[in-house]
């Protein structure tokens, strides 16, 4: 009897020590780093921002203490704007913005002072509950929250879709749309901001737009650099590539250039953004780590499916000076 009790005690102690050892093993620490300029392609905030879900459309506040991006389910049937704030050097957990969560809200962009947020949404517009097209909206920061969104004027928002607002210091608005006065099947337009109002949008010239698809353009504050996506060009890598153009000494856009294999993959690469404080370039990509090796078991399939690199959208960063 005593031997049985002794063996039982040994087993219990062994079990206890084993579990203590498991719990005291250091866990992997994940972080969000928007300050370090990287010279290689880096997944942003692995398992914090870039997760097995679909992430896209990063915007960083001009003060560098808040970031907003679009978070969707695997199929993007539900998409919301979520934010993280920096407090005492640490980032808070991601939360849905107070103005988001009901409709399909995507593609945030901060104004120059960070107190106005532009975005695209399919929420009903102009008191017409039947409207489900995407339009461009804005919201102002008030008392720590974002105000009820306001749609831009109908000179911008039509019954077609308007996407991906990006504004220069001048207040000029660049966005994506398909219109009769466009060049291709989807184009990048500019609406100049004069006398407090947006003017009739015009397509960017053929140095930017083509007969194919051009979309999701980021414009820098000085309005002399543009990065955008295009699909269907002869020099493309696959699902949609990122291109760059600068203005020359005469203020004309130069012929856009594919950003190459370091940035572009055979999957969709889009949603560009530059944080000039850290000089990092951010974009969304659907690239994955899929290989041709045989799966050994269901666990391996689940492990791939539940990893950030499962082929749904993630956000990447790299130093902007490496782009060219």
- Is 244 within 8 Å of 254 (Cβ atoms)? no
Candidate from 18-22, 213-217, 279-283, 291-295 with smallest mean pLDDT: 18-22
Q: Which two tokens stand for residue 9?
A: 């005690």
- Find how far residue 117's CA is from the centre of its chain: 15
- Is 237 within 8 Å of 266 (Cβ atoms)? yes
Half-sphere exposure at residue 173, Cβ-oriented, CA atoms within 13 angstroms:
30
Query: Would you call 14 helix, strand, or coil by DSSP?
Result: helix
- With cut-offs at 50, 70 and 90, classify the pLDDT of residue 31: confident
- Is 269 within 8 Å of 241 (Cβ atoms)? yes
Domain ranges of the chain: 53-322
Q: What is the pLDDT of residues 162-188, one digit of tens each?
A: 999 999 999 999 999 999 999 999 999
Q: Which two tokens stand for residue 161?
A: 């879709």
Name which of 266, 215, 258, 167 is nearest 56 in CA terms. Answer: 215
Q: In whole angstroms, what is the distance from residue 271 CA to residue 227 CA?
A: 9
CATH number of 53-322: 2.120.10
Q: What is the pLDDT of residues 249-275, one digit of tens each?
A: 999 999 999 999 999 999 999 999 999
Q: What is the pLDDT of residues 297-308, one digit of tens each?
A: 999 999 989 999
- Is 162 within 8 Å of 178 (Cβ atoms)? no
């Amino acid at each position: 009897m005593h031997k049985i009790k002794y063996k039982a005690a040994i087993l219990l102690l062994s079990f206890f020590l084993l579990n203590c050892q498991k719990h005291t093993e250091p866990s992997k620490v994940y972080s969000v780093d928007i300050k370090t300029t990287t010279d290689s392609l880096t997944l942003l905030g692995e398992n914090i921002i870039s997760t097995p879900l679909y992430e896209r459309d990063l915007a960083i506040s001009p003060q560098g203490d808040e970031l907003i991006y679009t978070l969707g389910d695997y199929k993007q049937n539900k998409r919301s704007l979520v934010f993280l704030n920096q407090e005492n050097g640490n980032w808070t957990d991601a939360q849905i913005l107070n103005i988001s969560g009901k409709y399909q809200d995507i593609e945030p962009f901060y104004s120059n002072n960070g107190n106005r947020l532009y975005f695209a949404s399919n929420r009903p517009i102009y008191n017409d509950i039947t409207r489900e097209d995407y339009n461009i909206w804005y919201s102002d920061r008030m008392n720590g929250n974002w105000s009820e969104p306001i749609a831009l004027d109908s000179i911008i928002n039509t019954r077609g879709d308007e996407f991906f607002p990006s504004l220069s210091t001048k207040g000029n608005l660049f966005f994506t749309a398909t219109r009769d006065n466009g060049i291709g099947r989807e184009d990048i337009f500019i609406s100049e901001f004069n006398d407090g109002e947006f003017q009739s949008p015009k397509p960017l010239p053929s140095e930017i737009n083509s007969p194919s698809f051009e979309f999701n353009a980021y414009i820098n504050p000085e309005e002399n650099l543009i990065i955008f996506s295009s699909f269907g060009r002869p020099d493309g890598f696959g699902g949609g590539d990122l291109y760059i153009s600068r203005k020359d000494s005469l203020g004309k856009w130069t012929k856009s250039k594919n950003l190459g294999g370091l940035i572009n993959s055979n999957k969709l690469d889009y949603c560009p953004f530059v944080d000039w404080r850290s000089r990092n370039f951010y974009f969304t990509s659907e690239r994955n780590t899929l290989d041709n090796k045989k799966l050994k078991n269901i666990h391996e399939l689940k492990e791939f499916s539940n990893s950030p690199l499962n082929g749904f959208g993630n956000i990447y960063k790299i130093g902007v000076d490496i782009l060219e």
